[in-house]
């Protein structure tokens, strides 16, 4: 075989190899995108470690108008016990080493209040509405709300169980607990233990707390997904709109006081 023939053969082999590599990469990117969309539909965090985030991000933005955002770590309960503190620190290190992502909208929000949602999966508007209401209650209680008090508020609100995404063939307390369990599973809420006694002066009857574990009190806080999807300033504006008040510096200072955190515009 002469030199020209060997060069041509080598060139064809290189082209064929690059083509196979591109096909493999394209297949992997498509698989990642499908996996990310499936997780978002189920409200599950994206856990796969070997994802090519840079390439998949570009595909998600260009085709779906969405992007992957890393979830912050869950809050850990602090303790004065040295053993418990070491265990919590070890758990935090293991948690931070396993990054998780969710899909978020990367498009500009519509300016008209009656605009249709970009994506409507399984008619989730009702579930998102009750989720926003729960998060606003926690926001207005220094970002932590005892479980019995939250259940009491939801019983007073009394929306239809089907709006929450749970079946209506159960009693109201069980439906509320199922809703809260679903929101914990979807990372919108964190449920943390407080101790053996209920908070004093909670204004909740024993009937309202029926079905809860009576040996331990719990509180609900914002979960990792809530912190990404509901920036604090957006929640402050939502509360102002519902109450019919303009968003003024005085109102923002008041909301900063009740939520216990500074309010600032989220990064664009």
Inside any domain, residue 9: no
pLDDT of residue 226: 94
Say what the pLDDT of residue 32 is: 76
CA–CA gap between residue 179 and residue 193 (Å, rounded):
18
pLDDT value of residue 5: 55
Is 243 part of any domain? yes
**Residue 26 and residue 101 in one domain:** yes
- 174 located within any domain: yes
Q: Do β-strands 145-146 and 101-105 pair in parallel, antiparallel, or remain unpaired? A: unpaired
Domain match, 223 and 243 both: no
> Could you tell me the pLDDT band of residue 126, with boundaries at 50, 70 and 90?
confident
| Confidence band of 214 (pLDDT split at 50, 70, 90) | very low
- Alpha carbon distance 118, 1 (integer Å): 61
- Say if residue 180 is in the same domain as residue 212: yes
Reported as a single tens digit per residue, the pLDDT across 7-42 is 455 455 445 545 655 676 677 777 777 888 888 888
Same domain, 41 and 84: yes
Is the torsion defined by CA of 103, 108, 113, 117 positive or negative? negative
118 vs 59, residue with greater confidence: 59
Q: Does 254 lie in the same domain as 195?
A: no
**Who wins on pLDDT, 47 or 148?**
148
Question: Is 198 a domain residue?
Answer: yes
Q: How is residue 157 written in tokens?
A: 């609100």
- The span from the first CA to the last CA of the chain, in angstroms, equals 61
CB 136, CB 236: distance < 8 Å? no
Please answer whether residues 192 and 79 qualify as being in contact, where contact means their C-beta atoms are separated by less than 8 angstroms.
no
In the chain, how many domains are there?
3
Q: Is-above-0.85 flag for pTM?
A: no
pLDDT attached to residue 7: 41
Range of the domain at 166: 120-133+147-229
Q: Assess whether 225 and 235 both reside in one domain.
A: no
Residue 115 lies in a domain: no
Share of the chain above pLDDT 70, in %: 59
Residue 95 to residues 9, 23, 150, 202, 228: CA-CA distances in angstroms? 51, 34, 28, 33, 17
223 lies in the same domain as 128: yes
Question: What pLDDT score was predicted for residue 207?
Answer: 40
Same structural domain, 91 and 102: yes
Claim to verify: residue 44 and residue 59 sit in the same structural domain = yes
Whether 179 is covered by a domain: the verdict is yes
Write the pLDDT tens digit of every residue in 129-172. 899 999 999 999 999 999 999 999 998 887 666 666 565 555 66
Confidence of residue 215 (pLDDT cuts 50, 70, 90): very low
Statement to judge: residues 192 and 154 lie in one domain: yes
The predicted-structure confidence for 107-121, as pLDDT tens digits, reads as follows 776 666 666 665 665
pLDDT on residue 183: 93
Give the pLDDT confidence score for residue 66 in this predicted structure.
83
70 lies in a domain?
Answer: yes
Asked if residue 122 has pLDDT above 90, the reply is no
Tell me: pLDDT of 266 over 80: no
């Amino acid at each position: 075989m002469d030199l020209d023939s060997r060069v041509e053969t080598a060139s064809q082999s290189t082209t064929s190899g690059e083509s196979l590599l591109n096909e493999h990469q394209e297949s992997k990117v498509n698989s990642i995108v499908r996996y990310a969309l499936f997780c978002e539909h189920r409200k599950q965090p994206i856990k796969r470690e070997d994802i090519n985030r840079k390439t998949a991000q570009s595909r998600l933005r260009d085709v779906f108008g969405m992007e992957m955002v890393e979830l912050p770590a869950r809050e850990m309960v602090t303790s004065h016990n040295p053993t418990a503190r070491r265990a919590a620190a070890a758990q935090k290190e293991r948690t931070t080493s396993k990054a998780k992502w969710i899909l978020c909208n990367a498009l500009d929000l519509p300016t008209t209040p009656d605009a249709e949602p970009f994506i409507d999966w399984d008619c989730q508007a009702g579930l998102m509405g009750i989720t926003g209401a729960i998060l606003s209650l926690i926001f207005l209680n220094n970002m932590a709300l005892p479980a019995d008090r939250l259940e009491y508020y939801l019983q007073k609100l009394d929306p239809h169980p089907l709006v929450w995404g749970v079946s209506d063939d159960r009693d109201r307390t069980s439906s509320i607990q199922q809703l809260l369990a679903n929101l914990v599973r979807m990372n919108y809420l964190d449920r943390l233990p407080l101790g053996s006694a209920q908070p004093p002066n909670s204004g909740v009857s024993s009937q309202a707390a029926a079905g809860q574990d009576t040996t331990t009190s719990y509180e609900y806080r914002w979960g990792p997904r809530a912190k990404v999807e509901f920036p604090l300033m957006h929640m402050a504006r939502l509360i102002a709109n519902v109450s019919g008040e303009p968003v003024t510096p005085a109102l923002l200072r008041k909301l900063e006081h009740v939520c216990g955190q500074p309010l600032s515009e989220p990064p664009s």
